[in-house]
Amino acid sequence: MTMVNEIAVAETPGAATRHGGDPDWWRGAVIYQIYPRSFQDSNDDGIGDLKGITQRLPYIAELGVDAIWVSPFFKSPMLDFGYDVSDYRDVDPIFGTLADFDAMIAEAHRLGLKVMIDLVISHTSEQHPWFVESRSSRNNLRDDWYVWADPREDGTVPNNWLSVFGGSAWAWDTTRCQYYLHNFLASQPDLNLHNVEVQDALLEEVRFWLERGVDGFRLDTINFYFHSAGLENNPPLAHELRNDSIAPAVNPYNFQDHVYDKNQPENINFLKRFRALLDEYPDCAAVGEVGDAQRGLEIVAQYTSGNDKIHMCYAFEFLSPEPLTPQRVRDVQEKFGETAPQGWSCWAFSNHDVMRHASRWADHVADREAYLKMTTMLILTLRGSVCLYQGEELGLSEAVLDFEDLQDPYGKRFWPNFRGRDGCRTPMAWSHNEPNAGFSNEAPWLPVPPEHLHLSVNSQEGQSDSLLEFYREFLQFRRLHPEFIKGSIRFHEGSDAVVVFEREHDGSSILVAINMGAESTEVPIPKNEYQEIGPFGAGCRFTNGKLELPPFGGWLAKIR
């Protein structure tokens, strides 16, 4: 048996093209999520914008990802910061113009980056012209484009459905004298996708952006598209089954089993229509967000099975507060493999809706940076595509904000037991020695936490042992090994602290062993000859079928 270190430099990817590229590029892709308000401000109004994104695209390309996902930039009253769309075909002025978008996508493609945009089609803003017309009377061309229902005889809401953001999911309209459904804010009425005209209209909005050159979409709340037309009451959820992966524990949304207000079978046919449209545009793909605490992986399996629905989805298994352990990693991966053997998932540890994983899991660990390098290695070697959230490559922590600084209506509603989503949305830390960490020359829409300054990009660049350089190095390394991108996964016996699995593609296999614990440990390794690969196994020793791993250490080896 011989062991050598394999260190090579990946070639810079060529410019992406709409036609003639790899239609399977999304399978195993690493996607970098950009929250536009907080990425880079180019005009000193304290809010990030499209020109700011364009300015920073070289940084993202150098990081080594395959694509960017840009959270909503559409015209909006911004009551939910862009997830309340009032015009699907225009850019909100705070972010710039359509010309700015075109320039951004052109630069991304020049740098070899695919561009996915956040599509919010389960609901609109109440200011959208469709809803303005729909609520104007009970008899107009769009009178049933949203979910309207009469009150019960005593004037109360039609059923017991709850909003994710708290309270009833029904709001009263004084013109129609009916209730309308809103799964989120009352200013975000739900579209009625049971109406085929609504589906047709939404697909035309999708086509608009496909024609503009986007490479795909992130589909917000994909399992909320349809409700049960019978408006049945949701049953209560047993106390032992309640968890706070979708809503905070203080929110009664967790008290129901949401079998009628989402997750409806009619969604399958709509997703097939959506996929058929995307298939008209080679190399385009979509990733769906599945928000369900009880059956998320099963829904992901339904939506990604075959080649006629969504390319990939993500659920909240690794976005929940639940601790990350070897057994949990194995359980989630194997359950998905069993329920969706032909499906494809997209994993994330952080995003714009949940506490940053650096704070969920690492802030209590003595060697915080070693832990975050370990989680980086883990997510980039599991089977599936990957979403990285801006700033996680720096190890940014969740910001603790004063109530006076909060912008998120969700946080204001449940303060102080739930502080909302602003803590993960603070501005990107570019520089430790510029105003507002290099994000803006003016006061930003959310304050920059002082503790983020020493984690800034310019504090970590060129530092060989920094977390940022580890991300760059591992992403480069990952590109060289298709086993990690498109390969199968098979788990071996590890331990309470160590997860061990094998990635195989086209006859080539790589063994991965990761110590997720804070103590050195030893595990048996299947009898084979191994060739250690990558510069990541410092402190690891393999002798006589046993592997010794340092705290938070990882070992990767080709199986000969």
Which residues are tagged catalytic?
220, 280
Residue 312's identity, in one-letter code, is M
Retrieve residue 243's tokens. 């968890």
∠ Cα 97 100 101 (to 5°):
95
Q: Can you give the three-state secondary structure of 41-81, one letter per residue?
A: CCCCCCCCCHHHHHHHHHHHHHHCCCEEEECCCEECCCCCC
H helices, E strands: number in the chain: 13, 21
Q: Which helix (H) or strand (E) holds 475?
A: helix 467-479
Whether 270 and 199 have beta carbons less than 8 Å apart is answered as yes
Cα distance between residue 290 and residue 246, in whole Å: 10
Three-state SS at 383: coil
Measure the N-to-C terminal CA separation of the chain; round to a whole number of Å: 9
Residue 485's identity, in one-letter code, is I
Question: What size, in residues, is the chain?
Answer: 560
Cα distance between residue 192 and residue 200, in whole Å: 12
Q: Which helix (H) or strand (E) holds 476?
A: helix 467-479
Report which DSSP code applies to 364: T
Whether 263 and 223 have beta carbons less than 8 Å apart is answered as yes
Q: Which helix (H) or strand (E) holds 118?
A: strand 114-119
CA distances in angstroms from 553 to 46, 516, 517, listed in the order given: 40, 8, 9
Whether 276 and 244 have beta carbons less than 8 Å apart is answered as no
Rg (CA), the chain: 24
* Alpha helices (H) along 182-340: 196-211, 267-278, 296-304, 326-339
